Amino acid sequence: MVRASLIGLILSVFTAAAWALPQTQDLQGEVVNAKGLPIAAAICTLRGNRLPVEGIVVTTGERGRFIIPGLVPGEYDLTCAAVDHLPVEQKGLEVTPATGASVRVVLPDAVVVREKVEVHETAPTIPHESGAPTARLSSLELTSLPLVQQEFKAALPLVPGVVRTPDGKISIKGSVENQGMLLVDSTEMVDPITGSYSIDVPIDAVQSVEVYKTPYNAEFGHFSGGLTSLLTKAPSSKWNFELNDLVPTARIESGHIVGVADNSHRLFFTGPLVGNRLTMSESFAYIWNKQPVRGLAWPNNETKREGFNSFTNFQAVFSSQHFATFNVHVFPVRQQFADINSLVPQTASSDYGQQGFSLGGADHYLFASGGLLTSLVEYTRFSSYEHGQGPADMQVTPDGWGGNFFNSYTRTSNQVEAQETFQFPYLFD
């Protein structure tokens, strides 16, 4: 009896202690722009009501949403900020014991343009041509479009004015690749020697692709052709895994399966490493495909490509106004019979291979006035080679090429890029 009474007393004490603990709730939020569109990678800081002095920092996901669990009911102050937007602070945000809280934060644009035009007399007409509008492809479009190759370059010809030449190069409004520029998160991502789009980025790592047909602004640098600007996804504060393209594509000739045409796979995962302070994402694409070429008979009409592409991204959040990113990019690829066509058979064609990596980092600081200071550095090492199929002499006849491809080379290049930019919040009259 004494033991039973003692156990009952202990259970009563623990039950009373459990009821005495404060009940916690979640704060769910959404960050959008002035048009109601979600803002990804916005940084929100929650302070007050028993929280540490520095508060709790979270980053919005791809749909502009965030959640802060385990909050004691009471009043809090929430501050949200994002690149190209003015920060917004909401004070006295009430988290109730029953339902928690839900909040929608609207961030206004950081750049305000004021234009004043005064006409005093009739001026002679000056002919002019307006710049072509920017074409944009979103992450959803890149992953859902029926592309022959799951690469962002395969989607560029869907943009008006962009074509893909027979040798696989991109031409933007008549300008070939080496007359334009490919920017990945504001840094150059091309072959440092030829300027061609030889370095690919996995489509699962791409947030958006923008094509400028007339990029004559000074901010774009030293070229006069087209510009392709690619923005990568920010790592998420929640774990997410994706595995795509698991089923290989069969090669069919004359109604019969004669092999595998494509066996490429893609892996993507993202999540936090140290709470909401350090997050990461990994996009990995294995490339293995055979592309048939018109004008040659099967099975000697295929160009074979194999390699992989890995893009790893880290994001460290120091405060609601200060965060940094670091990425590692590896991209080895080998292509056999790279230049075959109706006049160049496999025996007279060349093999192409490349390998390399890039390391980059960027530091972003958002001032209270809305000004943004960005410091970035990028190092790229790119190696490539090309050679023929054998030692025979090349022959060029009206019926096509014979013998062996005559040219061969091996080269390695290095490129270092550093930028320091400051974006002002306002443009004054």
Strands 249-253 and 256-262, how do they pair? antiparallel
27-75 confidence digits (pLDDT tens): 899 999 988 899 998 999 998 887 887 888 899 988 899 998 888 888 8
- 384 shares a domain with 331: yes
Q: Name, in order, each residue with C-beta under 8 angstroms of 234's C-beta and a sequence gap of 6 or more.
A: 40, 41, 59, 207, 279, 281, 313, 315, 325
The 3-state DSSP class for residue 109 equals: strand
- 384 shares a domain with 274: yes
The 3-state DSSP class for residue 154 equals: helix
Last residue of a domain, one of 71, 92, 107: 107
- 405 shares a domain with 272: yes
- 56 shares a domain with 97: yes
- Residue 126 belongs to a domain: no
- 258 shares a domain with 389: yes
Quick one: pLDDT band at residue 117, thresholds 50, 70, 90? Answer: low
- 330 shares a domain with 293: yes
- Residue 165 belongs to a domain: yes
- 220 shares a domain with 256: no
Q: What is the C-alpha to C-alpha distance for residues 210 and 395, in angstroms, rounded to an integer?
A: 43
- Residue 117 belongs to a domain: no
- Residue 216 belongs to a domain: yes
CB–CB of 230/313 below 8 Å?
Answer: no
Q: What is the CA radius of gyration of the chain?
A: 28
| pLDDT greater at residue 286 or residue 138 | 286
394-424 confidence digits (pLDDT tens): 899 888 898 888 888 999 999 999 989 888 8
Query: What's the confidence (pLDDT) of residue 258?
Result: 86
Q: What is the C-alpha to C-alpha distance for residues 163 and 33, in angstroms, rounded to an integer?
A: 34
What domain count does the chain have? 3
- Residue 257 belongs to a domain: yes
- Residue 394 belongs to a domain: yes
DSSP H or E segment with residue 238: none
| pLDDT greater at residue 417 or residue 428 | 417
- 360 shares a domain with 242: yes
Residue-wise DSSP of 118-147: ---S--------PPPPPEEEEHHHHHHS--
Mean pLDDT calculated for residue range 280-305 = 90
The 3-state DSSP class for residue 97 equals: coil
> What does each C-alpha distance from 251 to 248, 262, 286, 287, 293 come to in angstroms?
10, 8, 19, 16, 13
Instruction: Give residue 349's domain range.
Output: 235-423
- Residue 122 belongs to a domain: no
Mean pLDDT calculated for residue range 101-106 = 90
CATH number at residue 29: 2.60.40.10
257-277 confidence digits (pLDDT tens): 888 888 889 999 999 999 889
Of all residues in the chain, the percent with pLDDT exceeding 90 is: 32
Tokens 């670091």 locate to: 326
Mean pLDDT calculated for residue range 224-235 = 82
Query: What's the confidence (pLDDT) of residue 70?
Result: 83
- Mean of the per-residue pLDDT values for the chain? 82
Last residue of a domain, one of 229, 247, 266: 229
- 357 shares a domain with 290: yes
CATH number at residue 203: 2.170.130.10
Peptide bond into 299 cis (omega under 30): yes
273 Rama sector, left if φ>0, alpha if ψ -120 to 50, beta otherwise: alpha
- 333 shares a domain with 217: no
- Residue 179 belongs to a domain: yes
- 311 shares a domain with 244: yes
Last residue of a domain, one of 229, 249, 278: 229
Give the distance, in angstroms, between the CA of residue 239 and the centroid of all CA atoms in the same chain. Answer: 18
Quick one: pLDDT band at residue 105, thresholds 50, 70, 90? Answer: very high
Q: What is the C-alpha to C-alpha distance for residues 146 and 88, in angstroms, rounded to an integer?
A: 40
- 265 shares a domain with 172: no
> What does each C-alpha distance from 390 to 44, 199, 384, 405 come to in angstroms?
61, 28, 19, 8
| Ramachandran angles phi, psi of 257, nearest 5° | -80, 120
